[in-house]
Structure 1
Amino acid sequence: MSQHAHLIDLVSSEKSVEILCVGDIMLDRFVYGSVERISPEAPIPVLKIEREDAMLGGAGNVVRNLLSLGAEARFCGLVGEDEAGRTIAGLLNEDDHCCANLLLDKNRPTSMKTRFMASNQQMLRTDHETVAPLSQNLQDDLLLDVAESLGNAKVMVLSDYGKGVLESETPTHLINLAKKAGIPVIVDPKGIDYSKYRGATLVTPNRKELSEASRMKCGDDASIVAAARHIIETCGIENVLATRSQDGMTLVTRGGDVVHLPTQAREVFDVSGAGDTVVASLALALAHGASLSDGAKLANVAAGIVVAKIGTASVYSEELIEALHHQDLSQAEAKIVQKAPAKDRITRWQTQGKTVGFTNGCFDLLHPGHISLLKQSASQCDKLIVGLNSDASVKRLKGDERPLQNEMARATVLSSLACVDMVVIFDEDTPLELLSHLLPDVLVKGADYTIDQVVGADLIQQNGGRVFLANLEDGFSTTNTVNKLKKS
């Protein structure tokens, strides 16, 4: 199984999950044109308008991402009685997998951002909005709508853009409703008072937001973790996922676990709406029963995709699956290591207190017997190294017709397995020289040997390590398979 097979299965699952989003929805308008002259009235460019476009923004972009990732989306929020509000309602109703409960407020306009674009450059943005809290009647109506929408929801997302929907006690009441229904709550926060999100399963501040809310510096890994723990302890929030732009993400849990995820972005064109993609992909993962750690990994990959797009964009499940496959291939290649750097990596693992195991073989045609050996080997250690006989070595051991697959093909197959952490190719007939260089903690060989017959057993034991004899699966042999093929 590949490193990301479980995440790929999650994204490609045909099982339908419903996710409820509550928050500040807005309309993102884009006015495109060209600039050919400067205005005679003032030293400003004149934009000759060629076309206009509109899409869901704010919490609406969370909904767009949920839908593009294959989820069933429900939305509860508010718009004004105006053209922008009617456009939002129409956009939400375009997708059969979206169900929206929109409250109407006669006393405020629908939040709308208008961006004026020329030659792929943003020239100006105008905001049309009111940020006052909802009236008590509208707050009550929103809570009623949410309570009625929780029935089939697996996760609730609170998307706070500071436009008034999630002010005062409203977030607390919404989180309590979700908790009573037994569903997790993910919050994309706003402002500096995170105590209003007390009881939330996870908040997803960016670096600047985390620094402002904690009133602590957030420069390096240690300071990010300290600030996140401060938020957890003082605001009653269970977990924090801090998004850190070029430095990736950091997940800090109430239980004390810390997971640093390096950035997945190859090119960054526009970070608009990346936070929406993060919470949507996280929500999808949790809705399918994934762990927070796996959800963060999925969100990190999704964010790396969306920042390479222009404008407020969403990520499609097909893109996410392709990116996960690409990572598997890249990580598999990174596991194939030469002897010298392999020793450096092993020393680092052992310094971290990890147990390093080693097994070896030709692995010409990978079969269930090989898989059993590798899984048993991995169960004996934290990190498993596979010593792989080179083509020349296999030829000397097995005959001129072998190997059937060259050493890089065999190494690539082995390194694609989740239970294998490193593959080192050796040219000798036995792995003794390689073992003396690497000095693993555990040496694994098949139980058709006795310990005194295992090459390198004395060396490993004298160095404080141990030898484990793995049970063999009967009836599997590459040599026998080759002979059968010859006879057929």
Structure 2
Amino acid sequence: MGVHMKHRLAEIIPDFKDKKILVIGDIMLDKFVLGEVKRLSQEAPVQIVDVKEEYCLPGGAANVAANLAALGAKITLFGLAGPDEGKNQLFDELKRRGISTSKVIISKNRPTTIKTRVIVQNYQLLRMDKEDKCKIDNSTEKRIMVGILKKIKETDAVVISDYNKGAITESLSIKIIDLCKKHNKPIVVDPKPENISFYKGTYLIKPNVKDITSLMKSVPKTEEELENIGRKMVFTLNSNILITRGENGMSLFEKNGNISHIPTEAKEVFDIVGAGDTVTATLALAIAAKATLYEATIMANYAAGIVVGKFGTSTVSQNELISLFEKGNKKIKDISELKEIVKELKLNGRKVVWTNGCFDILHAGHTKYLQEARRLGDALILGLNTDASIRRIKGKNRPIIPENERAEMLSAIECVDYVIFFDEDTPLNVIKSIMPNIIVKGGDYKVEDVVGKDVVEKQGGEVIIIPLKGEISTTKIINNIINNHFNAK
């Protein structure tokens, strides 16, 4: 991607704020059960999972809404839920993200759709689905359309998220498409292959390569075969088509005849759950912000690259996208950026670990310590004393390494997720602002002396001391250099 395109995408992102998006589709609750397996059951030849943690996140169309909210949009969500505890948990998660549930219809005859994933050592061991896939009746369809009619004029774009759980019928989709054409509103559709014919004439349809295989009853083996399929779909459905291809990126087929193959931007794939929802949300919001279809696809591809590097059903923030398109170190953040990042991490059930220090003359003891700290949670934030702060603490001859160089070296360590400078003698103000789940310090500290202990523990967090390993230290390195290299002369 060239410099001009990066600049253009960075310009578009601020326009995401307050765009109004209608999301219509199959909402669900994603449950995650995390545990360990150390033994087999005596009752049957199955593994026993020792459960360590459980949490819930919005799923399906609700995850599309969550992604849109994380990117700054205002969402009206239409879908179905049952009168059960699953609905309560889902509504709580949506409200935490600022998403209204007023247009979600509570159906007495169906449960809230729940997908429960059992995760052992970062691998999905089992998935259990609770659902009723019966199509909605005419009265429910009318209630949805009444709500859409009230909102359509003020809407910037519409998303249909079809998981084939019954919320979208052919007659409902036809009515939505006709209404959007009347009011010139773009529709982005994430379809199930069995329903793809419902969406003729929409602005963009986004199947994945598995959907294409299901539709065509064969796997496209070459790029030429894929292009022939894409052209046929554009003609048959009278829509732009974006085929997402996993590790092979995306292929965009436009009605004007343009074809673009875009390689993946994922550097490390940790979890693909919800990545398609992130793509759908980013596409719709970029289109609402007047991006071209190609620009929207490039941006969605980058968003997918971010989210697959996270665990579970995750979202992407504006700051994360902007950091990809602007110059500078992506890990070094200011307090406003970091507060948003921590907020999103916590919304997605992640544990945030904090540590801080001078890290002047980085050495092996530092890296081992940081690796252990990172293993205690899902993201490690490192507070770094500025040069002025170190001079006040350690004297006028320190630091040896300037703050920007120290930050760059620490950012290059894989286990460090974010770095933030603090100019005070202690990081208390930063800790109060971001409120990590865990504060980590080295073995030369006592728990009661750790800055921020009372603040974090009051919010249910904890302080952990990591024992020092070996006798290496920055001071000893400096003394060794002086004694063996200067005094020796």
Give the shorter-chain TM-score range.
Answer: 0.5 to 0.7
Mapping of residues 15-414 of structure 1, within 5 Å:
15-96=17-98, 98=100, 100-215=102-217, 217-236=219-238, 238-325=239-326
Native 8 Å contact 2:17 2:71 kept in 1: no
State the alpha-carbon separation in 2 of the partners of residues 21 and 8 from structure 1: 25
Post-superposition shift, 1:217?
4.2
Give the number of aligned pairs.
328
**Cα gap change, 1:172 to 1:214, in 2 (>3 Å):** farther
Q: How far apart are residue 193 of structure 1 and its match?
A: 4.2
SS at match of 1:290: coil
* Cα displacement string for residues 16-45 of structure 1 (whole angstroms, at most 9, x for unaligned residues): 211111000000011122222211111111
* Separation of aligned partners in 1, 2:329 and 2:232: 35
CA offset digits 1:72-126 (Å, max 9, x no partner):
1111111011111122222222233656411011111110011112222222111
Q: What is the rounded CA distance, in whole Å, between the counterparts of 1:10 and 1:288 in structure 2?
A: 7
Residues 18 and 153 in structure 1, CA contact (< 8 A), matched pair in contact too = yes
CA deviation map 1:143-192 (0-9, x unaligned): 11222222321010000001001123221211212222211000001023
Amino acid at match of 2:241: V
Q: CA deviation at 1:256?
A: 0.7
Q: Confirm or deny: 8 A CA contact 1:160 1:188 kept in the other structure.
A: yes
Secondary structure at 2:271's aligned position in 1?
A: coil
Specify the code of the residue in structure 2 equivalent to 1:177.
L
Whether contact under 8 Å (2:16, 2:289) holds in the other structure is: no
How many angstroms apart in 2 are the aligned matches of 1:217 and 1:279? 23
Point out 4+ residue stretches in structure 1 off by more than 4 angstroms. 97-100, 214-217, 326-329
Q: CA deviation at 1:284?
A: 1.1
Provide the C-alpha distance between the structure 1 equivalents of 2:179 and 2:31, rounded to a whole number of angstroms: 34
Is the Cα contact below 8 Å between 1:155 and 1:283 reproduced in 2? Answer: yes
Separation of aligned partners in 2, 1:100 and 1:94: 14
Give the distance between the partners of 1:326 and 1:271, measured in 2 at CA.
28
Return 38-47 or 12-21, whichever deviates more. 12-21
RMSD: 2.0
Structure 1: give runs of 5+ residues left out of the alignment: 330-488
TM value normalised by structure 1: 0.64
Q: Where in structure 2 are the equivalents of 1:430-445 lying within 5 Å? A: none
Unaligned runs of 5+ in 2: 331-489
C-alpha distance in structure 1 between counterparts of 2:243 and 2:317, whole Å: 23
Distance 2:22 2:226 in 1: 29
Q: Distance in 2 between matches of 1:177 and 1:80?
A: 28
Deviation of 1:216 after TM superposition, in Å, equals 5.8
Q: Which has the larger radius of gyration?
A: 1
User: How far did residue 13 of structure 1 move?
Assistant: 3.5
Change (3 A) 1:270 1:327: farther
Distance 2:285 2:74 in 1: 10
Pick the aligned partner of 2:7 from 5, 8, 12.
5
> What are the Cα deviations for residues 206-233 of structure 1, in whole angstroms up to 9, with x where unaligned?
1121232345642322222211221122
CA shift at 1:9, angstroms? 1.5
| Cα displacement (A) at 1:325 | 3.0
Deviation at 1:326, TM superposition (A): 6.3
2:66 touches 2:97 (CA, 8 Å); kept in 1?
Answer: no
Instruction: Give the Cα–Cα distance (whole angstroms) in 1 for the partners of residues 329 and 110 of structure 2.
Output: 49
Provide the secondary structure at the position in 2 that maps to 1:169.
helix
Q: Tell me the percent identity.
A: 36
For 1:118, give the aligned amino acid: V
